[in-house]
């Protein structure tokens, strides 16, 4: 789990930089300022939660692997895909119904942070 999450986190971080650069250099002037702000929100949360996946991997090495750390990292990855992914597609395509699934990714982020908190406070490997 430790190496897997560190690998996932690294990939997510590299993608967040590439996707952010794409937005900054290729989308400016092609989509509205509001759509660009939505895109940038996706990049912002993508980057933060890429770091969160790295943290889950590092904590698995420090605290020991656990189901809680596994679920925290998995929820962060799912959140990036659902939350940020839906914002990227929404801002570029204008498909408005995608905004309805974005909160599912937000819930995954919140659940990931609560699960990470639980793992940090837990004395067991559950």
pLDDT of residue 71: 98
| pLDDT classification of 126: cutoffs 50, 70, 90 | low
Residue-level pLDDT at 123: 72
List pLDDT tens digits, range 36-71: 999 999 999 999 999 999 999 999 999 999 999 999
Q: List the domain boundaries for the chain.
A: 2-121
pLDDT band at 78 (very low <50, low <70, confident <90, very high): very high
**Read out DSSP for 69-116?**
HHHHHHHHHHHIIIIIHHHHHHHHH--GGGGGTHHHHHHHHHHHHHHH
Q: Give me the pLDDT at residue 30, please.
A: 94
Q: What is the CA radius of gyration of the chain?
A: 16
Bridge partners, 31 (sequence order): 28
Mean pLDDT of the chain: 95
Q: How confident is the model at residue 125 (pLDDT cuts 50, 70, 90)?
A: low
Percentage of residues of the chain with pLDDT beyond 90: 89
């Amino acid at each position: 789990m430790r190496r897997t999450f560190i690998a996932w986190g690294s990939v997510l971080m590299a993608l967040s930089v590439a996707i952010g650069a794409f937005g900054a250099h290729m989308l400016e002037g092609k989509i509205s300022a509001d759509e660009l702000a939505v895109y940038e929100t996706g990049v912002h949360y993508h980057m933060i939660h890429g770091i969160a996946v790295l943290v889950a991997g590092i904590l698995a090495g420090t605290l020991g692997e656990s189901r809680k750390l596994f679920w925290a990292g998995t929820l962060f990855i799912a959140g990036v895909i659902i939350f940020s992914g839906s914002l990227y597609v929404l801002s570029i395509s204008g498909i408005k119904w995608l905004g309805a699934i974005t909160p599912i990714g937000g819930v995954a982020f919140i659940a990931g942070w609560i699960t990470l908190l639980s793992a940090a406070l837990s004395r067991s490997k559950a």
